[in-house]
A and B are shown apart, each in its own frame.
Chain A
């Protein structure tokens, strides 16, 4: 199993450009999450999904959109990138079952917005 993978690993954008980050998991997890990590801020939840075709807002959703068309994929979109979105983005997934809810994290995507 590859676990949780993220594409790309690193990207540089200019202000106003758009991009999509792809998260894929092969563990048949129901739940998927997008976080951003900034120095001294821990991880903050951007959006999450509890199943195919469903998405919900987290703590810091502004400026981001998501889609989960397939159970194994969770896409994070930036329509018009801003320097404040420079961060490391982590995707995570977990089972829905209460006894198996440990999150598994992807390797991260480093995004620099100039």
Chain B
């Protein structure tokens, strides 16, 4: 059964700094997803990673996938306050999606 673990659970960082969120999964996952959730809001899709070595970038966020290590990373470059949110990774099988517990990111001015 697929299990997904994220770390850290909480992340407080200064504006302008870089950091990485890690997502480990236990068995083969069809693909790997990253979502963003603002407080009191729904989830917004950020990235879908399909294959080993996949890298996707949007603004200050870059996601990568290493299927051999069963690891995905979400790298934040030169953080700004607007990136403060909770970030979830999720793996998928044929039908189901399994979510990590989320990383709550707070960017301090």
A107–B98 CA distance with the chains assembled, in angstroms: 19
Cross-chain contact A42 with B43 (CB below 8 angstroms): no
Q: At the interface, yes or no: B68 with Cβ under 8 Å from chain A? A: no
Instruction: Given A90-B43, A101-B31, A105-B42, check contact A48 B48 (CB 8 Å).
Output: no
Q: At the interface, yes or no: A2 with Cβ under 8 Å from chain B? A: no
Residues of B64-109 contacting chain A, CB below 8 A: 88, 90, 92, 95-102
Cross-chain contact B101 with A41 (CB below 8 angstroms): yes
Q: At the interface, yes or no: A104 with Cβ under 8 Å from chain B? A: yes
A103–B97 CA distance with the chains assembled, in angstroms: 9
Cross-chain contact A43 with B42 (CB below 8 angstroms): no
Instruction: Given A56-B95, A90-B42, check contact A42 B31 (CB 8 Å).
Output: no
Residues on A with C-beta less than 8 A from B42 are 90, 105-108
Instruction: Given A90-B42, A105-B43, A108-B42, check contact A42 B97 (CB 8 Å).
Output: no
> What sequence of 0s and 1s flags, for each residue 93-107 of chain A, a beta carbon within 8 Å of any chain B beta carbon?
000001001111111
Q: Name B's A-contacting residues (CB within 8 A).
A: 9, 30-31, 33, 41-45, 48, 88, 90, 92, 95-102
Q: Name A's B-contacting residues (CB within 8 A).
A: 31, 33, 35, 40-45, 48, 50, 56, 58-59, 90, 92, 98, 101-108
